[in-house]
Amino acid sequence: MRLGVLSPRGTGEKRVAATPDTIKAYRKAGHEVIIEAGAGQGIASSDADYEAAGATIGDPYQATVLLVVGPADVDSARLRAEHVVVGMLDPYESEGLDRLASSGCQAFALELIPRTTRAQSMDVLSSQANIAGYAAVLKAATLYPRFFPMMMTAAGTVKAARVVVLGAGVAGLQAIATARRLGAVVEASDVRPAAREQIESLGGKFIDVPYETDEEREAAQGVGGYARPMPASWLQRQAAVVAARCAQADVIITTALIPGRPAPRLIAEDVVQSMRAGSVIVDLAAARGGNCALTEADQIVEKHGVTLVGETNFPARVAADASALYARNIQQFLGLMLKDQSDELHIPADDDIVNASRVVQGGKRLFPQQGA
Ligand code: NAD
């Protein structure tokens, strides 16, 4: 099979969908890889590195399977019906999928892979969120004008920074772990009851907002491992508790998301106002409207003396490792449909991972499904 690797074209994007290591594996399995010149620039992998791994530098649209980072990489005018596009295709943006569909190609959005054990090695949301959580804390640490760890020096003692993490999914848990490694005191909140144990196992303190009704308890269980919107009664109590914790915080990392919806608003302007000057908020939900009312996407702004970071692509800041993990996620996913030494795609008809991630086929957008 011929695989094509497109250069990253999204704003600030540096990641690439194949590394020299995954190219070697594709070659070993008898596949041909055509990569666009300069595609690996952002991860310090030169064309020569890719050629040494067995790729050809050229026009990736000559291949059948096109590997991309995001939808911006694809020139839909060049797509043909036999193309199969694989990447993080931003499936909740219907217009982008409609553009792909108009070519008649087939496309798979890896964000929609189910959170099952079998799919773990292909889980791009996890591999990239993990990096975002890490990079967000490092960003906060460089913008915060004080230390993270407690320091006892001859010139006096410095207190540890107090970090609050809102949303303890993959990104939030990595943010907790990274802030703890830097010596901060960490508290975290999540709607899901399972989050308590995970937060505590990383040395964080769980910000408890007890459930008071069956409706609240049921909503908190979520669906498919994901959060569902919580009832207004719980959100009100959470807002009060979170506001009090945030007023004491030096750094806040917000990561709360509900798939396919705008980010829940967890920090109002008066909460920012209550924070100490010099505090930092990194809003990992900035691309989806932000968990903080004052976040500006892709900007670092100062409001009421607090620095607000609205960076929307932290994984691209750690592009080499983000690409290494992403490229392996893609390689594992392609393992479902490539056969060694075969020029044909063998897309299984009854595979839950394939079916959940297929967003475009036969000129039609398949996601979101009607009624979903
Ligand atoms: P996500 O990025 O969709 O959301 C981040 C976190 O925000 C979630 O933990 C969510 O519960 C939380 N959140 C939503 N609304 C909130 C609110 N109002 N206040 C506080 N927190 C709020 O989450 P994710 O990192 O993709 O993880 C989603 C789930 O999938 C988690 O349960 C995670 O453990 C699970 N998961 C499973 C696998 C697997 O089994 N293969 C892999 C990765 C993640």
**Both structure tokens of 27:** 């070659």
Query: Mean pLDDT throughout 3-31?
Result: 97
Q: Is the ipTM of this complex over 0.90?
A: yes
Which of 116, 166, 190, 352 most suits a substitution to test ligand 1, by most atoms within 8 Å of the C-beta? 190
Strands (E), 248-299: 251-254, 280-283
Residue 371: is its pLDDT beyond 70? no
Confidence of residue 226 (pLDDT cuts 50, 70, 90): confident
Helices 232-247/214-221 angle, 10° precision: 70
Q: What is the pLDDT of residues 56-69, one digit of tens each?
A: 999 999 999 999 99
Residue nearest to atom 35 of ligand 1 (CA): 225
Q: Which percentage of the chain shows pLDDT scores above 90?
A: 92
Determine the residue of 121, 128, 191 to mutate for testing ligand 1's pocket, defined as the one with the most ligand atoms within 8 A of the Cβ atom.
Answer: 191
Q: At what angle do helices 319-334 and 20-28 cross, to 10 degrees?
A: 20
How many Å apart are CA 372 and CA 368, to the nearest integer?
Answer: 6
Write the Ramachandran bin of 247: left for phi over 0, alpha for psi from -120 to 50, otherwise beta: alpha
pLDDT, tens digit (0-9, with 9 covering 90-100), for 130-153: 999 999 999 999 999 999 999 999
Name the closest-CA residue to atom 15, ligand 1.
256
Task: For 311-359, write each residue's pLDDT tens digit.
Answer: 999 999 999 999 999 999 999 999 999 999 999 999 999 999 999 999 9
Q: Taking residues 282-286, report their average pLDDT.
A: 98
Q: How far apart are CA 330 and CA 121, in angstroms?
A: 9
Going by C-beta distance under 8 Å and a sequence separation of 6 or more, which residues neighbour residue 125? Answer: 111, 113, 170
Quote the pTM value: 0.95
Give the residue-averaged pLDDT of 211-225: 87
pLDDT in tens, 67-87: 999 999 999 999 999 999 999
Strand, coil or helix: 190: coil
Model confidence at 44, in pLDDT bands (50, 70, 90)? very high
Beta bridge partners of 302: 307
Which atom of ligand 1 is found nearest the CA of 195? 9
Q: Read off the pLDDT of each residue in 241-246 and give the average, rounded to a whole number.
A: 95
